[in-house]
Amino acid sequence: MTRAIRVRAFAKINLSLQVLGARSDGYHELRTTFQSLALHDTLTCRARPGPFQIVCDEEACPSGESNLVWRAAERLWASAGRRGLPRDVAVRINKRIPIAAGLGGGSSDAAAAIRALAALWRVELSTARARKTAAALGADVPFFLDGGTALGVGRGDVLRRLADAPPAWVTLVVPAFGVSTPDAYRWFDADANEVSEAANDLEAPVAAHHPEIAHLVAALRREGASQAAMSGSGSAVFGLFTRRAAAAAAARAVSARGRRVIVTRTLDRAGYARLGRARRVR
Ligand code: C5P
């Protein structure tokens, strides 16, 4: 009998992101509000003999050790008490979350892999252990264990649950370029004296290198978004709308060749727990 586990990995936006200062460990001290979105990748972990393998339907998605799913597998394998490298499982990633966009796709895939591989290998992970494993993979990864609306401090990995934000339709605009997270923080450090009105402190320094970001934020506001900002370290920009039709109209207004425009919804914590659960498939 082949055994397989399927799990959804949801995207996030940052409703706000304050950079409080540089830390001695190369990271920055943050205060950010994370919000889960219904937009998701799907991971299928299938038991089969042979070396560990990642297959992704998106060319730009790494299939080797630089994929956080690989590192999640190594840690889970050790937690399962196995020696050597993980094996006998293939992970297929259906990628729908744009890459290098500030939407947390890679981090969410890693957290989803923790859930799925724990189920496949029957590892009982305590909440504390899951958190520790997640935080070792990346600053954003712990958020994706619970999702919903949460405050992140420290590197963004010290979390406090917040009351669910009011449900909203979300228009995501992803420019043709991506932004690397270390670059965004470097640009922030280089003009740390600039004052900005943006909800996201990384927005102005990233927009200084990529003016399209500021144009898109302005365009979403003109379309009636109750809030518009860059997500995380970019390049994606989001607008929040009460009505689906308004989100769809904004999507049409900003669509252009080379851009990806996606209309999705916010996802609350209960929805995240229900829809993000690891499920057995044939
Ligand atoms: O933890 P993660 O690998 O996602 O972080 C990628 C990079 O982003 C870090 O190496 C660092 O340069 C930057 N970063 C930061 N402060 C944070 C989160 C990320 O400077 N709180």
Q: pLDDT per residue over 66-113, tens digit each?
A: 999 999 999 999 988 999 999 999 999 999 999 999 999 999 999 999
| CB of 139 shorter than 6 A to ligand 1 | yes
Q: pLDDT per residue over 162-192, tens digit each?
A: 999 999 999 999 999 999 999 999 999 998 7
- What percentage of residues in the chain have a pLDDT greater than 70? 99
Q: How many whole angstroms from 166 Cα to the centroid of ligand 1? A: 29
Q: Which atom of ligand 1 is nearest to the CA of 182?
A: 12
pLDDT at 191: 84
Q: Which atom of ligand 1 is nearest to the CA of 29?
A: 21
Q: Is the pLDDT of residue 193 over 80?
A: no
| CB of 157 shorter than 6 A to ligand 1 | no
- The predicted model scores a pTM of 0.96
Q: How many whole angstroms from 182 Cα to the centroid of ligand 1? A: 6
pLDDT at 282: 86
pLDDT at 194: 79
Residues with catalytic function: 12, 140
| CB of 183 shorter than 6 A to ligand 1 | no
pLDDT at 1: 52
pLDDT tier, 2 (very low <50, low <70, confident <90, very high otherwise)? low
Which of 70, 181, 202, 206 should be mutated for ligand 1, with most atoms under 8 A from CB?
A: 181
| CB of 185 shorter than 6 A to ligand 1 | yes
Rounded to an integer, the average pLDDT of 202-213 is: 98
Query: Exposure pattern of 90-117 as b/e (b: 16+ CB <10 Å)?
Result: bbbbbbbbbbbbbbbbbbbbbbbbbbbb
* Ligand 1: residue whose CA is nearest its atom 15: 27
* Ligand 1: residue whose CA is nearest its atom 14: 27
Q: Is the pLDDT of residue 246 over 90?
A: yes
